[in-house]
Structure 1
């Protein structure tokens, strides 16, 4: 069993060596190691904070983008509605103008028809009057070929006319 149980001298020297190493580590290495660990912890925390902040900023930007998209859709709908209304107004105005122009053209045509009718009636009256005069002239020429008939006609006219 000697091999399994350590001797007192070995335990003493291992304890002394351990304490020296512990002292040296605490004097020279412990503070830089803890400082490095603190710095590492601080940098990780700051990276996490920055990541959270970036995440919040991304959410805010996403919300802003959604808001801008919504506003753009509303603006697009308004522009389309205005364009549709303007097109309808132009169409209605064109219909109104066409109706007015058609009505005016119909009225002008009616006036032209009335004027042509009056002109035709006047021409027919003039033609009838000319024909009547020609017929009367021919009848009178035929009736009044001899001078006795002419004298009788003049006497009849004189009798009908009363001179006061």
Structure 2
């Protein structure tokens, strides 16, 4: 919308994210954002839910989905918190899995081990929370790479 109506070559989303980060650094962030950013860091999802629930949508499938933590696959499907935990959005995860299967794609998911991508922290300007989750993702992926290299996975 802004890029269509604005004659200036600006990335408005990036500008707003930077502005929100400045506001948080100045102590003026929105109180409503604090619980979801804390949950994103502590529970690995911004919805204040047990991360084990990230695998619940799989029960709605009539086929088995590989667990990336213990089974090799050609493709890792990063489902994300919203698709995994929001009932209204779960059809996205379900139908994506069905399409991958129909195409013959050998895929797996992290399920309860999936760490939030951090989008909520970045979009709300909480770069401390975002960076914390980014480090967790890096450490987790490094761990999985090491396991794969020594042949455990």
Q: TM-score, normalised by structure 2?
A: 0.19
Q: Which structure: greater helix fraction?
A: 1
The structure number with the bigger radius of gyration is 1
Of structures 1 and 2, the one scoring higher in RCO (CA 8 A, sep 6+) is 2
Larger strand fraction of residues: 2
Q: Normalised by the size of structure 1, how large is the TM-score?
A: 0.18
